[in-house]
Structure 1
């Protein structure tokens, strides 16, 4: 780990100014990902700006009937918040499926958005990785790629985004609030993370010097019909091979009026195809209908050898999650 300077500002503007004027500075909150990267010399910040004293640690109602989650609220406090559990159980369930209790007690909502890929080649500085060193190549494409992406990939990168929370936020159409020297702006979750393309070193659309201040949940939380299904190698403390977040609106006659389906573990960002979701509108819940929608969502999926099994795994996971959300199958 390289040497670095450290500051702990009390005001948002001061924190933003400090990051903006110092070369190779990084914000740090829980540090559950950044410190790992520093230990492996993947990240080498010259300065850490500790933001834990900033006033971003509350969960509040919004005027539109939603919830505003402070960026510094921990994952654990978010998952167990009474309003989140009641109104957005999909989000609570997704957060509790991630990491371990100890990590959830430290990790923050804002930091969760910025998790970097857990690709073996990204973490190994002796191996080629376009995310770590642009132009060096992607060791995973022809290497051991069991955990890697099958959708939205490029010749430059087949890494996946590892967050569980972000998959639920994508399904809920959450909005991220950021603040920078040019003022405040909002970024829909659909636009927050990027596909790799030719610039896989950029994980998201946050600009240099900007700080995430909150995540806003819309009023609709799909509290009656939802499911978060995470398939992984062990029951806890493991990243998803495939995960699926589902939210449904279903009429009393059994007709689906709205559907949200987001996938994790399969792409460089939480994966959604709204045009596929539209195929469910007006339909009655059934396994046969769900299978057709699953085929549509993973259309174009490509395996790279070790991870080819994910194509069929994702298809089956989508169907099962839809069955659970529609209550045609009990959640086990």
Structure 2
């Protein structure tokens, strides 16, 4: 243990010298190395008392990480709303939402028109895609028996409440596309069906989207209110196995799936929930599509932003939240 302490001390002293010389990129890389080798030094248990020296370096590591994100992304933005979104993502500007019920957990584009529900006819070319997907419904139905993944684990951090714990046993899924990449499961589908996922309507911005997934909600299951990650995309539901009792609630507006429903289109950055009070499972095909009010140039900006963010996150993302215990 003493050897570890001596090594940590040497590393921290060298980092302090880098900071004094304004060699911030080198200092950040060194902090990342310390965190990898000795994570407990920069991320101690909440109850562990901290010296001022140690707290200073926790702050430094987090601040340098956030600085790196800003440096990587601040040049992105062909329009004022994308520039503002980048600033909010990097913490330079405070997030200000236009709607009380719309608070995406990750990326928010201000002044981007939307509503809880929309019609497929409002998006050019979407009805044609819906028709082709509906024609292929039998292919998707044949995959439902493979939808055994826990979907709660796929939607990000959720509250540790009884409702969410119970849901983890009652909401299953099978991804056909994840983070913009076709999965092994999708190979069960005919090639002409898989080719539909190449549509420019889908929100192609790896590693965050698009997602194409079969979602199965078991009888009596309830999905508590939550927010999606961003308003850059809308969510398309193609009903596979439905009943008249299951419903989707988006910002207080309820809609049901039925055999006559071709599709439901909504913005999941608005608070939304779902329930299946029936005695049979409900299954839908979920697809991420671009918010149609984004320009092509803005979509390219977002794709670049996601690439830069993914690269930063892989190297330094964990450091950015080290100082959350102080706030």
Shared fold, TM over 0.5: no
Q: Which has the larger radius of gyration?
A: 2
Q: Which gives a bigger RCO, structure 1 or 2 (Cα 8 Å, sep 6+)?
A: 2
Normalising to structure 1: TM-score of the pair?
A: 0.27
Normalising to structure 2: TM-score of the pair?
A: 0.27
Structure with greater helix percent? 2
